[in-house]
Every structure is written in C-alpha cells, then in structure tokens.
Structure 1
C-alpha cells in the first residue's frame, strides 16, 4: 500500500513539474531573433486591411521588420505613417518625419484605432 501511495505521489509531482514548465515557458527574445519578413508600413497596412484573413498569418505573432516615416513619437513608442503603432523594448529618442526601420513582434490589426500594433521593438536603422 505504501508503494502505491509513493508511486502516485511521484507521478503527481512529475506531472506538476511538467505542467508548470509548459505553462510558464520563456518569452521569445525579439532582439536576438531573425525577422521572418520585411515590410514597408504601407505594405503591412495593405496586408491587414485586405479582405483575405489568410494573409494576416504571414505577419501575425511573427518577428518582422517594418520601415516607414515617423509621424508621432514618444520615448516608449513611435507611429509610422499614422497607422503602424510600435512600442519599444527600451526608451529611444526618435525624430519626427524621419524614416526608420524597426524590428518587433506583430500583434495584429486594431479595428477600433485602425492601427497595426507591434511590441518589443528595437530600432534597426534610422535613415535620413
């Protein structure tokens, strides 16, 4: 009887450890990940606003590069061409009306604000 209780106890402990590791996996590191695709802001907007939702999976929850002109900035975010909102990993100084190339994780299209959301972004190349 004691053997059965011990075996059941160890099985429960092992299942608990496996379940915990499955639920609390490490987050994706966007900085070290390679981008799966590169878009201009207008191409990305067209991709999400067309009627074919199958196209959205090309960028959705993927690490992508996007380039465009900064139309709104703050220390923690930038908006490219008025429709691509990008949140930085760390604060950055960016200037308005300059072209930037950024890498981040695409969260998708926000219907309410009519913006594409990208987070965990870093500046790849500030252009003049």
Structure 2
C-alpha cells in the first residue's frame, strides 16, 4: 500500500511541475526576437481594415517592424501617421514630423479608435 501511495504522490508531483512550467512560461523578448515582417503604417492599416481574417493573422501577436511619420508623441508612446499607436518599453524623447522605424508586438486593430496597437516597442533606427 505504501508503494502505491508513493507512486501516486510521485506522479502528482511530476504533473504539478509540468503544469507549472506550461502555465508560467517565459515572456517573449521583443528586443532579441526577429521581426516576422515589415510594414509601413499605411500598409499595416490596410492589412487590418480589409475584412480578411487571414491577413490579420499575419501580424496579430507577431513581432513586426513598422515605419511611418510621427504625428503624436509622448514619453512612453508614439503615433505614426495618426493610425498606428506604439507603446515603448522605456521612455524616449521624440520629435514630431520625423520618420521612425520601430519593432514591437502587434496587439491588433482597435475599431473604436481606428488604429493599430503595438507594445513593447524598440527603435530600429531613431530617425531618418
């Protein structure tokens, strides 16, 4: 009987360890990840507004590069061409009306604000 209890306890411990490792995986590091694709801000908006779900999957929850003209800036975010909102990992000082290329994780399209959301962004080039 003790042998069966020991084996059952051992199996439960193994399942617990595997379950914990599955649920609490490491987060994706955008800085070290390669971008799956590169877009201009207008191409990215067109990708999400064409009503084709298969196109959305090409960028959704992927690390992508996006470039465009800065139309609104703050310490923690930038808006490119009034349609792509990008949130930084760290605060930056940015200039308006400059072209920037950034890499980040695409969260999707916000229908209410009509803009694409990207987070964990880093600069590919600070300005052109």
Q: Secondary structure at the match of 2:68?
A: strand
**Alpha-carbon displacement from aligned partner over 1:87-122 (angstroms, at most 9, x marks no partner):** 001111111111000000001001111110000000
> Are 1:120 and 2:120 an aligned pair?
yes
Partner of residue 30, structure 2: 30
Partner of residue 5, structure 1: 5
Report how far residue 51 of structure 1 moved. 1.7
CA distance in 1, matches of 2:25, 2:92: 28
Q: Secondary structure at the match of 2:108?
A: strand
Partner of residue 111, structure 2: 111
Q: Secondary structure at the match of 1:92?
A: coil
CA distance in 2, matches of 1:127, 1:15: 50
| Runs of 4+ in structure 1 over 2 Å off | none
Residues 1-128 of structure 1 aligned to structure 2 (within 5 Å): 1-128=1-128
Runs of 5+ consecutive residues of structure 2 not aligned to the other structure: none
- In the alignment of these two chains, the number of paired residues is 128
Report how far residue 85 of structure 1 moved. 0.4
CA distance in 2, matches of 1:3, 1:86: 58
Report how far residue 53 of structure 1 moved. 1.4
TM-score normalized with structure 1 length: 0.97
RMSD: 0.7
Q: Secondary structure at the match of 1:14?
A: helix
Q: Secondary structure at the match of 1:44?
A: helix
CA distance in 1, matches of 2:105, 2:2: 52
